[in-house]
Structures are given as C-alpha cells and as structure tokens.
Structure 1
Amino acid sequence: MEDNLSYLSEVDKNLKVIQLTLFMVKVELLRYTPDGIKLIAESCRVSGIPPDISDEEVVRMVVENDYSSVLEHIVFTFDVSEISVALSRELLEHRIASHTARSTRYHDERNFGYVIPPPIRNDPELVEMFKQAMESAREHYVKVFDKMIEKGYSKEKAREVARYVLPMATHTHYVWTINARSLINFLGLRLCKRAAPEIRELAQKIYDIVVKIYPEIFENIGCRGYNLGLCPENEARPKDCPYAKIIPTKKKIKETWKGKVQK
C-alpha cells in the first residue's frame, strides 16, 4: 500500500493529513538490523525452504502466511519525541519491546510542552480552558518545587515530588526498540480507525519509515482488518472505516460456518 493511504478516498486522505498535522509527533530511526531480508531468508532455509526461491519471495511468504517468529531477528530502534504521557501509557501496552522514557525525576519540567487533543482544536473556548489548566499545572509544579527548596529539601527531592503535578498532556521523550514481528502487531492495532489519533499518527510515521527500508515485510501491512482480511472490531468498527463495505467482520464470518463445522 503506497504510503499506507492508497485505500482511502481523497476526503479521508485529507482528513488523515489534518490529523497528523495536529499532533506533529516526531519520529527518528536510530538503528535497524541491516541485510534483514537475507537474514530472514537464511533463517527460514534452516527449516527447509528450497534454495531456488528468492530471498524476497521467502520473506513475502513468511509475512503473508504469518510464519512470523523468524521476523523477530529484525529490530528497529526509534527516537520518539513530543508525544504525550497519555500516549506513552498506550505504548507500554506493547510489552514485547524495550522502552526508555525521559525521566521527570532528573529533569526540571517547569517548561514542559503539551498536546492539545484534536476534538477541541476548533473550539476556542475549550482550547483556552485547556491551556489555562496546563498553565495552572505548570504554576503549581513551580510552587511545590520552590516551597520544598525553601524548606531545605534537595533539588532531587523537589523534582521527584513536583512531577506528580504534571498532567497527562505533558510531552515526554522515548527511545523505543521493537522487533519486526511485534511491530506488525503494533501497526495492526494502531493504524486502525478506532485507535486514539495521537498513537495512530505515531504508527503512521513509523510505518512510513520502515516500509521504505523493508517493503518486502511491510508493504502489505495495515490495520488488523486489512492484515487478516476480516475485522476483529465487529460492532465497534467505526462507520467511517474505509474497509466497512469491503472487509467483513470476524463475527459475520463466524456466523457463516458456526454450527456447520464439527468440533
């Protein structure tokens, strides 16, 4: 899927670009496993893959047929910044990865940046209320810090306590290492229309990076519905899902054979 947006209508493409602009999550690839296609193919040949099949064909077969344990030999490390603490909580749900986050114990956070959630972006009144809440948190962070210093606490202790005032919208900074198999799982979940917009932006930007490096692995990866050919979201699938009229739900597929197959 070219730039992973080819399945969308022009309206949906424009909408997605708007969503990406709202957050501006920053993603930089720090390192990745080189010669990954050859590595995967050679690993597969240990199990008896014929030598007359090209390395690229082997990898595409592995991905399409979900013989995916071999993909764990490929690892990517990303620098991810200007994401919210709220997003970082979702990122931690992807446990087969290595997470290193900016420490609020050792950094002075009085000048923290923050994310304004998209649903209120076009409502000046709510945006102003949100900004006031952020500035109030900043003010109280400084007050707690300064009062602790005044009372004789060390800067280390003052930072450690004051950080509890920080809101979920606060920017944080991550270094994230993940193997290709787990990354496909991440993309399948977070490219979905139901995913929170901020982490969906992160998933899209990561996809745009890795598909250029290893198209044999990622060119046919999208949300879970696209990957599986059926949507596990069932009734929860949003009405504006681009696959709603193309890909059936898991529940619908099961209804066609349930009771007809002997257990």
Structure 2
Amino acid sequence: MEVKLLTYTPEPDRVVATAARLCYAPQDAETVWAGFTREKQEEFLGRLSAYGHFSPYEHVSFTFAVAGVSRALSHQLVRHRIASYSQRSQRYINEVSFGVVLPPTVEADPAAREEFERVIAAIREGYQRLTALGVPKEDARYLLPNACQTQLIMTMNARSLLHFMALRCCRRAQWEIRELAWRVRAEALKVAPLLFREAGPPCLVRGECPEGTMSCGRPYTKAEVEASYGLA
C-alpha cells in the first residue's frame, strides 16, 4: 500500500481558525487572518474541538494518491460520501496481468495461499480467454476478484477526514482500510498538526470506546501508535 498527500489547502490550521473566528468578530476576514499567530491558532482550535464545532473544518481539503489497495477496500472507502474519488477503471484498462492484495491470514497459511493463488491464476486465464474471444473489457471484468489491486485519488475536507479516521482507525475496522486510515492520518498530521491532533479512534482521542458490548477491549496507546506510524 502506498499513500501520498498530493496537495492540500495552504495553511489549513489558520484557514479553519479564521473561518470560525469570523462568525463572531467585528473585523474583516483579512484582519482576523493577520491576527492569528500560531499560538492563538492552537488555543482557538482547541476550543473549537472541545465545543464540537466542526463546520469550519469543511473549508480545507486534502488530496491523497492511494495505490496497491484492493477493490474490497475501495468499495468500503466510497461509503464515506462527503468526498471525491477518481479510480482506475476496469472498463478501459486491460486487467489480464492484474495484481492482487493478499490478506495476511492467507499469506500466513501455506495451504490457503496455494489455493488463493490457484484461483487467481484461473481468473486471469478466464479473463484472457474472454477478451481473446472479443468480449469487451467492461464485461470481462465481471470475473475479476475483490483482491484485484487498484489505485485512486481521494479528496476529503478536514471534517470528513476526522470522521473517516474515527471510524476506520478503530481495531474493529477491516484490516486493509484500517491501515489506510492510519497512513492518511500520519500524512495529514504533517501539514495540519492542530486540526488533526485529536484524529483517530475514540479510545485514543477520548480514552473511551463508543462500541459498548462490541468493543474490542484493546484500546490504542500513544506509544503503540508512535511505534507503528511515527506520529501519536
């Protein structure tokens, strides 16, 4: 899996702070902007987060390139609706040599891996035969598995990203999209450390789990996150 932050709204922390402060300030936007030192941004954004006032976060967006992930992941990802996605098309791209994402549980079991690879080889052969018979790629793709690798570009505003990370960084999220969420979080923190300082699963951010009886019982710690992803 590869995750890269391609572009983002410049000075995202300051943009959000200015947008929120303007609602209550008699000054114009330029004056509010100029008055927001880094220290004031940190204090003000802390209050915004504590109040749960996240609509100003929608003024900034982040665009990520994601590669080496499965169609199983992308089907989950597009359920996050306040976002924009552009994905490699199986309708136009010949997928006779498609790559696959191998789940860790399959990779760890030699017999399971052998069976997985046997089926994938059969699918590749079937896809090649269909296209050789003149079946359009848009129809031959019906054979392709969820394991098929894809790549996409994803744009979300900061509010949507916070929601995405809260749900998908959780241990109960499916393993592949959970890995994506943590990598997205790490990239976002590099450029907007104030906006995303409380990004992640509720057990890490608030010290409590909202899942009730469905809780995994294994809350994340800052030390674990630091060791795995470099930024806690």
TM range (shorter): 0.7 to 0.9
RMSD: 1.8
Equivalent of residue 212 in structure 1, options 177, 187, 190: 190
Which protein has the larger Cα radius of gyration, Structure 1 or Structure 2? 1
Q: Deviations over 1:148-181 (max 9, x none)?
A: 2xxxxxxxx6211111110000001111000000
2:196 is aligned with 1:221: no
Equivalent of residue 76 in structure 1, options 62, 74, 85: 62
1:63 is displaced (CA, Å) by 2.3
Match in the other structure for 1:179: 157
Q: Deviations over 1:79-135 (max 9, x none)?
A: 111110000010011010001111011100011000111122211110111111111
Counting only pairs closer than 5 Å after superposition, residues 117-196 of structure 1 correspond to structure 2 as 117-148=103-134, 158-196=136-174
Counting only pairs closer than 5 Å after superposition, residues 23-102 of structure 1 correspond to structure 2 as 25-48=1-24, 54-102=40-88
Amino acid at match of 2:117: K
Q: Which consecutive unaligned segments of at least 5 residues does structure 2 have?
A: 27-31, 222-232
- Aligned partners of 1:42, 1:240: CA distance in 2, in Å? 38
Equivalent of residue 237 in structure 1, options 197, 211, 215: 215
- Aligned partners of 2:150, 2:176: CA distance in 1, in Å? 13
Maintained 8 Å contact 2:65/2:152: yes
1:66 is displaced (CA, Å) by 1.6
Change (3 A) 1:207 1:102: same
Maintained 8 Å contact 2:64/2:153: yes
Q: Which consecutive unaligned segments of at least 5 residues does structure 1 have?
A: 1-24, 149-156, 244-263
- Aligned partners of 2:208, 2:177: CA distance in 1, in Å? 22
Count of matched residue positions in the alignment of Structure 1 and Structure 2: 211
Maintained 8 Å contact 2:204/2:220: no
Report the more deviating stretch, 47-56 or 30-39: 47-56
- Aligned partners of 2:22, 2:93: CA distance in 1, in Å? 49
1:224 is displaced (CA, Å) by 2.8
TM-score by length of 1: 0.76
Maintained 8 Å contact 2:84/2:155: yes
1:49 is displaced (CA, Å) by 5.8
- Aligned partners of 1:131, 1:63: CA distance in 2, in Å? 47
Counting only pairs closer than 5 Å after superposition, residues 6-21 of structure 1 correspond to structure 2 as none
1:239 is displaced (CA, Å) by 3.5
Q: Which runs of 4+ in 1 moved over 6 A?
A: 50-53
What is the DSSP-based 3-state SS (H/G/I as helix, E as strand, rest coil) of the residue aligned with 2:210? coil
